[in-house]
Amino acid sequence: SPWKPLLLLLSPPAFSTTCARCAKDRRLRQKRAISERQLTRYFVDQRKVRVVGGQGGDGGHSFHSEPRKVFGGPDGGNGGDGGHVIFKADQQMKSLSSVFRFYQGFHGERGGSKNCYGANGGHMYVKVPVGTLVKEDGEVVADLTQHGEEYIAAYGGAGGKGNRFFLSNENRAPKLFTPGEPGQERVLHLELKTTAHAGLVGFPNAGKSSLLRAISRAKPAVAAYPFTTLNPHVGIVHYQDYEQVAVADIPGLIKGAHQNRGLGMAFLKHIERCRFLLYVVDLSVPQPWIQLQDLKYELEAYGKGLSERPCVVIGNKVDLAQSRINLPLLREQVAERVIALSALTGDNLEELLLHLRELYDTYVKTEQSRGQSPVKW
């Protein structure tokens, strides 16, 4: 074809021929694993926010005038209303780190001549994670638990009145007009409570993070020292029928956690939103049932009825010799179902996944019987 040389010139080359540096094969760089210490900069579960509504536009002040109609009367329009500041729950948001300290709605425009009203100010939407509590002076004013749920944090000011508004039979040429009102100003405290179906509860180094890594794609930090997990992690367990169960890894608790010892109440609040609990017990320690008793005591001391939620006891580290000795003793002391497994080797994870699905199905049926929609991931 006579057009073939021309097409070859117009088509872009498969690789760069300008220089050797540009012609190198550049591979996509993989994301580096973020350590638990570095994650504290990205995960924020508390934020103090000052919100101010937009100011209303001033009223217009003008008189109509045209040829053969000099005294046309007042025609100043009203000013536009200021915009609101609105908190909107978004399931894509997982932290309050992207929420700024100050927000203000857009101002309304001034009223114009010829009875033209000023445009209203646009609303300022602030995306917050699902499960965010909005508090003012220690009292809860909003609880955003559903995706797309909104709360007006600060109302915008009303627009001023133009001189046309004050026209009357007694005053045919009013010169009075009012300025726009300032927007509402508030100082609010945002508090995030992780919303998940199941919560892994246990003492430090019980193997919660290793278990979450084994059953989901989450990659929390794992180490041999206590308090490795400093922030809640949420892993998603996928099933063949496309159902997804969210499991939250709550940082380790210690005795006196309800009195703010250790990590304390900063992370006990994340357990409140879990529909059922997975108690992770280290089978290799002497008398592992004591751990379960202490965990239930801390939960009940923090919130009444919290320890009575549907649960299962997970005996971790069954691959150790001492764990096999303590397993029958634990089942004698505990009334709940005990699932013995090893998060390190993956032994008996199938039993946990099946029972986790049973707890999830029970939760869905209970919510549907109450006429409520269950939380979906």
DSSP 106-163: PPPPPP-STTPPPPPPPPEEEEEETTEEEEETTEEEEEE-STT-EEEEEPPPPPPPPG
Q: Within its chain, how far is the Cα of 51 from the centroid?
A: 19
For residue 50, give the H/E element and its range: strand 46-52
Q: What is the pLDDT of residues 125-165, one digit of tens each?
A: 999 988 888 999 989 999 898 889 999 999 999 999 998 88
Q: What is the pLDDT of residues 74-132, one digit of tens each?
A: 888 999 999 999 999 998 887 788 899 999 999 999 998 888 899 999 999 999 988 88
Between strands 102-104 and 124-129, the pairing is unpaired
Q: Within its chain, how far is the Cα of 292 from the centroid?
A: 30
Q: What is the pLDDT of residues 199-247, one digit of tens each?
A: 888 888 778 888 888 888 766 655 444 444 456 777 888 888 888 898 8
148: left (phi over 0), alpha (psi -120 to 50) or beta: left
Domains and CATH numbers, the chain: 44-193 (2.70.210.12), 198-370 (3.40.50.300)
Q: What is the pLDDT of residues 258-301, one digit of tens each?
A: 444 444 455 677 787 788 899 999 898 888 888 888 888 888 88
Quickly state the pLDDT bin for 377 (edges 50, 70, 90): low
For residue 291, give the H/E element and its range: helix 289-302
Instruction: Find all residues with CB under 8 Å of 251, minimum gap 6, and list them.
Output: 227, 229, 230, 231, 232, 263, 267
State the chain's mean pLDDT as an integer. 80
pLDDT at site 214: 87
pLDDT at site 348: 87
Whether the pLDDT of residue 7 is over 50: the answer is no
pLDDT at site 345: 87
Amino acid at residue number 361 = D
Tokens 């609040």 locate to 269
Q: Which of 46-50, 269-273, 311-315 has the lowest mean pLDDT?
A: 269-273
Cα-flanking dihedrals φ and ψ of residue 361, to 5°? -65, -40
Quickly state the pLDDT bin for 12 (edges 50, 70, 90): very low
Rounded-to-integer distance, Cα 316 and Cα 100, Å:
41
Between strands 185-192 and 198-201, the pairing is unpaired
173-183 as b/e: b if 16+ CB within 10 A: ebeebbbbbbb
Q: How far is CA 322 from CA 202, 255, 331, 336, in A?
A: 19, 24, 15, 21
pLDDT at site 95: 79
Structural tokens at position 261: 């010892």
